[in-house]
Structure 1
Amino acid sequence: MNRWLQNEYVLRIISVLLGVILWGAVTQTLPPFQDETNSSKKVEDVELEALYDHDQMEIVSLISKVDVTLKGDAFLLDHLPEKYRVYVDLRGYAAGTHQEVPIRVDGLPLGIRAEVTPDKVTVKLERKGKKVLPVEANNNLPPNVVSLFSPDRVEVSGRSSLVNQVIAIRAQVPENFSERSGETTVSLQAYGKNGPIKGVKLNPTKVKLRVARADREMPLTVRIAKNPPAGYQVESITYFPKTVRVIGNPEQVHSLTSYIGPSLDLSEVTSNRRFLLKIPLRTGVQKVAPQEVEVYVKITRVEDTKPAQPEEKPNPNPEPTPEPNPETNPDPEPNPNPDQETTTEPEPDPDPESTPDPESNVQSSS
């Protein structure tokens, strides 16, 4: 035995046998060799998230699911975290249509690569709208019954194109509802011109409903909001009807002594005018009958306030103008020398006896 061990060829054979045994032991405990870094795993219908400004924007169109192929170490692929997200980052995008927006993947362990199909998407964004509307009841209420909602106003939000179409928020009152039903909770629905509108959010989505009856007839008043232009004034206002029937919240209706109707804008009215105006619903009032009032306004021009000058009328019997008397002496001419007194000697009365005879005058000249 010792002699065999001292033989060089025997030792070589033993070494080879030990190597074969060791190799066999290793190959039986490990699986056949494979490239661990090139393993892949495909996950279908992965939910696609979107990051955007929820207060300002609303997504109109975006695909909801994509397929993801994960590649990397097989061990890591078999122990992936439960939550990793696939998303598009739309923060900073303006309203409109955006094409080839890249899809991103977060939450994967180091060494795992992701391929998304499709890897880019088209997204349409629209600016969000918001408005507040009063709650109305549908047609299932008993006649002459007022519906009181709490709260009585609802906020509507969503895509601006849809929010602008909403004209009413109606409570879905059950058909068997009556005055004896007491207080109940009803759901709300947004309505447009062509019926219900979906895709908008209501806050709240339900309200409490109770009914009450308050029906009074009271005088109707019409007021002037703006006067006629300068130079014109209102002479009279007449309208029909003079009274209206008011139905609404008992507390509000019983506190009214008269009902304030529409206000008149006469800022551009310069002649008589007839108006047909809708009677507005005041706070706490749900119905007014009739719903319109006919108003007639009489306009006149403002006269000049200055007193008129009396007109001179011709005298039908004019007096004749007196003619000057030639025998009347005219006024004496002024003295050219005011320092000297002017004496006027009276002229002697003519005496016929003292008048010389012409013949005697002739004689004396001879």
Structure 2
Amino acid sequence: MDKWLSHPTALKIISVLLGILLFAVVHIDPETSPQSLTSSIDTKIIEAATIVPIGLDEEKYVLSAMEPTVARIVVEGKISSLYAASNSDYIVNVDLAGLKPGIQELPLIVKLPRGIKEVELSPRKVTVRIEEIVTKSFDAQVMVEGDVAAGFVLGGPEIVSEGGSAVQVTLPKDDMDKVGLVAASIDVSNADKTVVNKKAKLVVYDTEGQEITGAIVKPSTIHAEVKVTLPFKQVPLQLRYSGELPEDMSLVSVKPSVDFVTVYASQEDLDAISIYDGAVLDLSKVKQSGTIKVKAPPVDHIQAVNPGEIELTIVVEVATTKKLSNVPISITGTGPGLTAQILTPASGTMDLEISGAEAVLADVVLDDVAIVAKVAGLDPGTHTIALELELPPYVQPVLGDGQSLSATIEIMDPTVSNGNDPEDTEVGGTPVDPPDEGSEGATPGNNGSGSGNANARSGGDKSGNQHALVDANRRTPSNHLIAWKKEDATV
């Protein structure tokens, strides 16, 4: 040992080791060295971690309030672990499983990332309010906003969804008691046609008109529309006829599915419209009793008609005839101060054969038929007048070959004396031909009218109410044209 210590090399090695020890003693601070050994551990503060409720039976209950909604967390762990975790990894829950409605105070549950531990949690409890939720059915409505374009009128809003207006609203029980209206809004500002919204959002309002947020509405949207139209009004339907029934057939009744239609036009034109006569029944298409549909198109100044199609219930029967004797001829239209008398036929009456369905003719009596001689505008003298017939609905005259439907009328001015001078007596006059088409006393044959079968009556009513414009041109079985007229009638 002494030899080893006295060896020069050994002395050098010992000297180096002593120098290192002296350096360490001088330069290492005893108070700081413990910190260098724990420098890998640190703390972190999450000031506002969101408190997330869990376990609530959301089909029955709703969390209507929670105080507070965030918590402060202080955690500790390795620096590497703290840096690796984001704030969303620090989870704070409140367990609501099995709770009943009411206000309760519950503890918080903290879930931290691995390697990190909780140092502090504030607060440790929260107060929650649980409410029962209920579902109730409501009829949705449409609220209209704005003003339509000038000259147009606003119709009633309508829900056209397949499921109708019924909707289901889910809310807490206390809020449900406040519901006043479930509605969708449609803006019609400056609209000149119907406004349609196929996905109008439904909103729940309370009794004071304020929106109730958080309401669940099923369905959440509806298909709604608001009518924007020209001015309109309802007017009586007056059916017109064209064509002819087969010779052996006659109408018993024609009953439309509606007696009134709605017509649309500018207000000025609308004020002048009293009837609608645009629907025409083509009698040539009627082969038997039954129903038939006819179009109701716009006519004259009418822009639209509702309904646009009308169903007619038609009854036809085999035609038969009936004779009426001594039907009186009446004179109308005599000028002021003038008198008129019938020269021929001398009796002032005519025998008349009429045709129609047996059920119709059975009710026809002499008082239902009139033969009229219109002398309006004629001067004193003798005139041959084409007579006009006034017949019940669905009845037509039967005239044989060569049979004339005319009379000789003498018009006199009592204030003028004839002086018993044959040369002063007017022995003749200007014959009056049957009225031309379009003249007074005749109805144009192309005005939607037709054969005598076009007379109209509803259900055999003797009152004469009808849906027809009756043609003045009637043909005899031998196809001779005669002139007669039935006064127009309106239901």
TM-score by length of 2: 0.38
TM-score by length of 1: 0.49
